[in-house]
Amino acid sequence: MNDRTRIAVLGAGPMGLAVAYQLALDGHQPVVFEADDRVGGMTATFDFGGLDIERYYHFHCISDHAFLQVLDELGLADRMRWTETRMGYWFQNRLQPWGNPMALLRFKGLGMVAKLRYGLHAFLSTKRDDWRPLDHVEATGWIRRWVGNEAYEVLWRKLFELKFYDYTSNLSAAWIWSRIRRIGRSRYDIFREKLGYLEGGSATLLNGMKHAIETRGGIFHLSTPVQRILLSDGRVTGVQTAAGTESFDKVISTVPLPYVPRLAPDLPPDILARYQARKNIAVVCVIAKLKKPVTDNFWLNTNDPDMDIPGIVEYTNLRPLGNEHVVYVPFYMPGEHPKYGDADEVFLEKVRRYLKKINPGLEDSDFVDIRASRYRYAQPICPPGYLEGLPPVALPVKGLWVADTSYYYPEDRGISESIGFGRQMARDATS
């Protein structure tokens, strides 16, 4: 291959890997630059006391077609496992079943009319396919109109406020709907939820994609953040890193949009302003390894005045890990919120206290290990009409394409969505 076929790919999360994978399949030579010392982004794994596991929780739904297609292409489809999972709700110091019609009808703390309105809204959201009528609708008002004040206060308000804080009242109904639909459609039947995991975790996919890229001539530069995208006379000329400059005719960036003005300050001012206007939720995600389970649920929503979390994810109730019991506890907040600056130990101590409150049988000695990971740009904040404020993926600079998880709005961030979007972006950039 000659240099004219080499294309720089910035970021080695699922979207960046998907871009590089498709480029390699199509006969190009992707050169991937990643700031981290490993591929994966938010799906990357780490050594958790001898257990190789993701820093942030992930799961798969039956609608994850792009993800399942890549597994098939890589010969990894037989590593996929589907299982029945359970949801719960912690409310009024009581652990209650959740996630199906019977659980809703038996839920304590909510009147029958409120239950029926909530159930109708969830059912119709699951059946809806067209998101466009909801694009310019504000989410909390939309939900409140459907379910009523009682159900909103009990089941929704804390979930919004403990994730979006001051942005709660300016979110797109289309974005919220997509989340309801995705989970609502991933089921064996109306009473049983169906979610999936990969044997070996996300590392199975990441290693498979990286190997496929490298065997086709792709190159990875890990621990190598790009300092600047080089532009001249309205076109891309290359990238600059600490090691120097490297020439490219095309650059495809998948790093979070807030980094783009720093990487490409020579872009037109109106384009830069649109990137700078994007807001993101940050996350401090605590992962705990326990000697015993907290509950028998995979997902547990929480509405407790003493807890500043929207829920917990008991990962090993989806993916069994022998005698290890792993729980993720995410603290979401806007990145500019003062709480994001709190020390790790503040969040670790909260998690110990919260889990022992949910399960009084837990003791300090049951906590084998506990860690915190942080991601500043974990999720875009999507106000009504979100896509209209984004710059085009193909920028008015020859050879430059820029996108992150914002661009598959109204779908929520996810591995499958990143893969599908990334592969299409690679095709568009080389067509």
CATH label of the domain that carries residue 243: 3.50.50.60
pLDDT for the residue numbered 67: 98
pLDDT for the residue numbered 349: 98
H-run or E-run covering 7: strand 6-10
Do the domain assignments include residue 371? Answer: no
Do the domain assignments include residue 266? Answer: yes
Residue 225, preceding bond cis, omega within 30 degrees?
A: no
pLDDT tens per residue across all 431 residues of the chain = 344 468 999 999 999 999 999 999 999 999 999 999 999 999 999 999 999 999 999 999 999 999 999 999 999 999 999 999 999 999 999 999 999 999 999 999 999 999 999 999 999 999 999 999 999 999 999 999 999 999 999 999 999 999 999 999 999 999 999 999 988 999 999 899 999 999 999 999 999 999 999 999 999 999 999 999 999 999 999 999 999 999 999 999 999 999 999 999 999 999 999 999 999 999 999 999 999 999 999 999 999 999 999 999 999 999 999 999 999 999 999 999 999 999 999 999 999 999 999 999 999 999 999 999 999 999 999 999 999 999 999 999 999 999 999 999 999 889 999 999 999 999 999 99
pLDDT for the residue numbered 303: 96
d(CA 57, CA 184): 19
Do the domain assignments include residue 184? Answer: no
Q: Report in angstroms the alpha-carbon separations of 321 from 94, 137, 317, 318, 352.
A: 27, 42, 9, 9, 21
Domain count, the chain: 1
Do the domain assignments include residue 415? Answer: yes
Do the domain assignments include residue 358? Answer: no
DSSP state of 250: -
H-run or E-run covering 367: strand 367-380
pLDDT for the residue numbered 1: 39
pLDDT for the residue numbered 3: 43
Domain containing 389: what range?
Answer: 3-79+199-278+384-430
